């Protein structure tokens, strides 16, 4: 029961910090958005040249370092990897493509709902159905294989990259891009963003908070444990938005959103499907990367490159909606991840009913 | 007679799915699940308890053996 309280408390803190960050200057309904922030970082590094979305957001390295610090203290920091890294890179890439067609990661989807943005409803349906689709393969034996213990030095790479990103954001050398207008120019103060990122990273590590996991466990086990975090983020942000006058229910004129319902649905279907195949939403990948999971770090890099491609090739949506390239990319993504999922269903599960399970030995 | 399920290195929900299948196949037989990360340990324990089993965890360094019995 103790663990359940940690999940609910973490959800409340994440919801409150997200609204606080918008008050301090982050874009509307985007106090925290892992996908958007990774996209901004890709822009800040010049990996794409969409001028409105370029800023090395301190929140993301904050998530990773928060998880790093708390897992070091709790003894859970451990280098591991080797579970299909290239495949994870590609899945991470398409999770980002899907999220940027909707304009938000699963966490921002909840925050948008809590601000009255009803465009997030079809997205939520798509996300849940995408996870259900992923579970179709998982129940039939889908796995990217085992990860293995690595020498401990490998685990420090992602935290080191995070420190480097923070240095770039703090020192802002001339080769780094900073948006002068658009969402990338809307920023909470560096220290506030970093502090919020660290707190979220620590809490998410302890609670295993995961947007994908919450819905997955309901489908798979009728277990609402992780979903309670999801619900507490929603209600905390809802109450704060109502109090601050930021709750505007409707479809039209929502900040950094569009109303192409089919593509909001399919974009988040792709993100949900990919997150199920990675066993974690974008936030969870950051947390695992901070704990020393180098496979999650590769998925993170896949998301970073996916964000760069999304803006270089016009895949990402804008407030005007989704262009042809974005639509094609979502369909290709769903098809490709379906092939990846099918190819990674272990043949063992095709054994006849009643036969021994793989990995089970009589002792 | 007890069975052993080696779920080391597998990320959730796969250890949980395998445990659930093993318990469904022979609900009365004891099961030992070997995992190597705390998330899998917590999830497998929660599943077993929710299904009404008794759970005992044996910690050996970075690995955990979860003994599941009626």
DSSP state of A293: B
pLDDT classification of A43: cutoffs 50, 70, 90: very high
User: What residues of A are in the B interface, CB distance below 8 Å?
Assistant: 3, 76, 78, 80, 83, 138-139, 143-149, 208, 213, 216-217, 220-221, 223, 225, 279-280, 354, 357-363
Chain B closest-CA separation from residue A359 CA (Å): 5
pLDDT(A348) > 50? yes
> In chain B, what is the greatest distance between 2 CA atoms, to the nearest angstrom?
30
Contact B17 A362 (CB under 8 A): no
The tens digit of pLDDT for each residue in A312-331 reads 999 999 999 999 999 999 99
The tens digit of pLDDT for each residue in A254-270 reads 999 999 999 999 999 99
pLDDT(A354) > 90? no
The tens digit of pLDDT for each residue in A287-312 reads 999 999 999 999 999 999 999 999 99
pLDDT of residue A361: 65
Q: For chain A, say whether B67 makes contact (Cβ under 8 Å).
A: no
Active site residue B12: yes
Query: In this predicted complex, what is the ipTM?
Result: 0.91
Preferred mutation among B13, B24, B52, B66 to probe A, highest tally of A CBs within 10 A: B13
Tokens representing A340 are 């990846």
Contact B14 A208 (CB under 8 A): no
pLDDT(A4) > 90? no
Tokens representing A67 are 């998880």
Q: Are B55 and B68 in contact (CB under 8 A)?
A: yes
pLDDT classification of A1: cutoffs 50, 70, 90: low
pLDDT of residue A195: 98
Q: Are A271 and A134 in contact (CB under 8 A)?
A: no
pLDDT of residue B70: 86
pLDDT(B43) > 60? yes
pLDDT(A249) > 80? yes
How far, in Å, CA of A231 to CA of A244, rounded? 20
pTM score of the predicted model: 0.94
Contact B9 A80 (CB under 8 A): yes
Q: What is the mean pLDDT of residues A25-48?
A: 96
CB-closest option in B7, B18, B38 to A76: B38
How remote is the C-alpha of A216 from its chain's centroid?
15
Query: First vs last Cα of chain B: how many Å apart?
Result: 13
pLDDT(A362) > 70? no
Q: Percent of chain A at pLDDT above 90?
A: 93
pLDDT(A353) > 80? no
The pairing of beta strand B30-35 with beta strand B2-6 = parallel
Active-site residue identified among B10, B12, B34, B55: B12
Q: Nearest-CA neighbor of A284 among A206, A218, A337?
A: A206
Chain A closest-CA separation from residue B58 CA (Å): 17
pLDDT of residue A359: 65
Mean pLDDT over each residue of chain A, to the nearest integer: 94
pLDDT of residue A2: 78
CB-closest option in B13, B37, B46 to A225: B46
The tens digit of pLDDT for each residue in A166-203 reads 999 999 999 999 999 999 999 999 999 999 999 999 99
Chain A closest-CA separation from residue B38 CA (Å): 8
pLDDT of residue A358: 57
Contact A360 B11 (CB under 8 A): no
Q: Are B11 and A83 in contact (CB under 8 A)?
A: yes
DSSP state of A225: T
pLDDT classification of A242: cutoffs 50, 70, 90: very high
The pairing of beta strand B2-6 with beta strand A360-362 = antiparallel
pLDDT of residue B12: 84
pLDDT of residue A144: 95
Q: For chain A, say whether B46 makes contact (Cβ under 8 Å).
A: yes
**CA distances in angstroms from A197 to A37, A61, A65, A176, A280, listed in the order given:** 11, 7, 8, 21, 18
pLDDT classification of A351: cutoffs 50, 70, 90: very low
The tens digit of pLDDT for each residue in B50-61 reads 999 999 999 888
Q: Are A54 and A43 in contact (CB under 8 A)?
A: yes
How far, in Å, CA of A263 to CA of A101, rounded? 7
pLDDT of residue A121: 97
DSSP state of A335: H
Considering Cα of A150, then A152, then A157, then A158, what sign does the dihedral take? Answer: positive
pLDDT classification of B2: cutoffs 50, 70, 90: confident
How far, in Å, CA of A336 to CA of A241, rounded? 39
Query: First vs last Cα of chain A: how many Å apart?
Result: 32
């Amino acid at each position: 029961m103790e663990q359940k309280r940690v999940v609910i408390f973490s959800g409340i803190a994440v919801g409150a910090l997200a609204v606080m960050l918008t008050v301090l200057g982050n874009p509307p309904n985007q106090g925290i958005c892992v996908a958007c922030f990774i996209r901004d970082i890709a822009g800040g590094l010049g990996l794409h040249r969409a001028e409105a979305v370029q800023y090395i957001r301190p929140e993301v390295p904050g998530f990773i370092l928060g998880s790093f610090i708390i897992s070091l203290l709790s003894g859970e920091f451990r280098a591991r990897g080797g579970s299909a890294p290239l495949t994870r890179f590609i899945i991470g890439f398409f999770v980002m493509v899907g999220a940027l067609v909707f304009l938000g990661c699963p966490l921002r989807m909840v925050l948008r709902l809590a601000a009255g943005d009803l465009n997030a409803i079809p997205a939520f349906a798509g996300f849940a159905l995408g996870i259900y689709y992923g579970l179709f393969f998982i129940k039939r034996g889908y796995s990217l294989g085992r990860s293995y213990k690595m020498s401990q030095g490998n685990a420090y790479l992602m935290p080191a990259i995070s420190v480097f990103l923070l240095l770039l954001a703090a020192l802002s050398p001339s080769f780094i891009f900073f948006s002068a207008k658009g969402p990338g120019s809307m920023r909470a103060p560096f220290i506030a963003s970093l502090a919020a990122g660290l707190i979220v990273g620590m809490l998410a590590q302890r609670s295993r908070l995961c947007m994908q996991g919450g819905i997955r466990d309901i489908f798979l086990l009728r277990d609402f444990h992780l979903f309670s975090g999801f619900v507490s983020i929603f209600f905390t942000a809802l109450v704060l938005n109502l109090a601050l006058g930021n709750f505007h229910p409707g479809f039209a004129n929502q900040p950094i959103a569009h109303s192409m319902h089919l593509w909001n649905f399919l974009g988040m279907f792709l993100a949900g499907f990919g997150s199920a195949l990675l066993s974690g939403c974008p936030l969870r990948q950051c947390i695992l990367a901070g704990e020393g999971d180098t496979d999650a770090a590769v998925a993170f890099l896949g998301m970073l490159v996916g964000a760069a491609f999304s803006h270089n090739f016009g895949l990402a949506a804008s407030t005007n909606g989704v262009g042809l390239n974005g639509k094609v990319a979502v369909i290709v993504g769903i098809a490709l991840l379906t092939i990846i999922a099918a190819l990674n269903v272990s043949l063992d599960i095709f054994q006849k009913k009643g036969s021994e399970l793989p990995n089970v030995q009589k002792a | 007679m007890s069975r052993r399920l080696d779920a080391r290195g597998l990320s959730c929900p796969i250890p949980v799915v395998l445990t659930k299948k093993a318990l469904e196949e022979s609900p009365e037989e004891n099961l030992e699940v070997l995992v190597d990360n705390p998330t899998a340990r917590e999830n497998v324990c929660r599943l077993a308890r929710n299904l009404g089993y008794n759970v005992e965890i044996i910690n050996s360094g970075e690995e955990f053996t979860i003994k599941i019995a009626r």
